Amino acid sequence: MTTIHYLYAAVFLSQVLVVSLHAPTIVARRVRTLLATRPPAEYPKLYPVPIETIEHTLRLYRILNAGIAVLGLAQAAWFYVVDGEMDPTAYAVYTCLQVAPVLLWGQWEKRYFQRMSAGAHSSIRRAQLTPRRLFDFVSPVQLGLVVTTYVGATVSIVFMTAAPIPEPLLTSTFTFTLMTIFNLFFASGLVWLRTPKRSDPHQSHGDRVRTIRAVYQAAVTTIILMNAYVALQSVLTSFEVLRYAGFAASLLVQFFGVAAAKASVLVLGQEDFEVYKADAQRA
């Protein structure tokens, strides 16, 4: 085995530990803190399902991630001791397995808020209408980085048309099209987020604004990182050093794994919990 193989094994091991062990621990810690500091007896509107259901779901979530982590450790040992090479297909399949619990948890949270909304039909609603502008949630510097990374990735893709790879023009066109669709998808999402459907019917106006801002920041950061990743991949392809691309892919997966864990925990950046008390009116 060469040094690059040891490095690949180390990076993959880091991905296993970060995405399948560290990120679920963040989720579990924040949920348990919420249960301990905001008990159902004092904040009944915060819990549309029994506490047992939340704990059962959290337990299944951690068991599923632990099983995937064991599988990843076995795969890392295989890369390190036996094979010496990281098979791209095996890596892609395992990464998809790591993403599955995140998607399942997100679906459970969606149902959680649907039940919360269904139970809030009799509450009194008070509307606070304020205009929302794009720069209320993201800075011009961040939008400038989006444009810069997109242009940089486009230039890198153009250079890739001369790379010694099969069908360079087709590959470059496909990469550019996929990147553009990705950017347009997130851009349309940012426009839609200016007037999103309220998922939490009790959330205060200030917390709602903070939540939207956090989502904006996450979306813009995602666009910047993905554009930068496409640029890096294109450069590595053009200079025939694509074997180093796995490092960037793994680090990107680890970043998004932790980011998703911090952003997807029932109540995101909540400050006003008084709205969840029994005698609170719906805002």
| DSSP 8-class letter at 134 | G
Cα dist. 59→33, 62, 73, 101 in Å?
A: 15, 5, 21, 12
pLDDT attached to residue 118: 78
For residues 270 and 37, is the Cβ–Cβ distance under 8 A?
Answer: no
Q: Identify which of 252, 201, 185 has the alpha carbon closest to the alpha carbon of residue 15.
A: 252
Give the domain ranges of the chain.
Answer: 3-121+134-276
pLDDT attached to residue 206: 72
Task: Tabulate helix, strand, coil % of the chain (nearest 5).
Answer: 75, 0, 25
Cα dist. 228→75, 179, 225, 238 in Å?
A: 28, 11, 5, 15
Q: What is the mean pLDDT of the chain?
A: 80
DSSP string, 15-58: HHHIIIIIHHHHHHHHHHHHHHHS-TTT-GGG-SS-HHHHHHHH
For residue 180, count other CB atoms closer than 10 A to its CB: 13
For residue 250, count other CB atoms closer than 10 A to its CB: 23
pLDDT attached to residue 180: 92
Counting as low any pLDDT under 70, the low residues of the chain are 1-2, 80-86, 120-136, 192-200, 240-245, 264-271, 280-283
pLDDT attached to residue 131: 47
pLDDT attached to residue 197: 61
For residues 156 and 234, is the Cβ–Cβ distance under 8 A?
Answer: yes
Q: Can you tell me the distance from the alpha carbon of 180 to that of 281, in angstroms, rounded to the nearest whole number? A: 44
Cα dist. 167→146, 173, 175, 189, 245 in Å?
A: 29, 10, 12, 33, 19
pLDDT attached to residue 283: 45
Tokens 């969606």 — which residue?
Answer: 110
Q: Can you tell me the distance from the alpha carbon of 93 to that of 181, in angstroms, rounded to the nearest whole number? A: 23
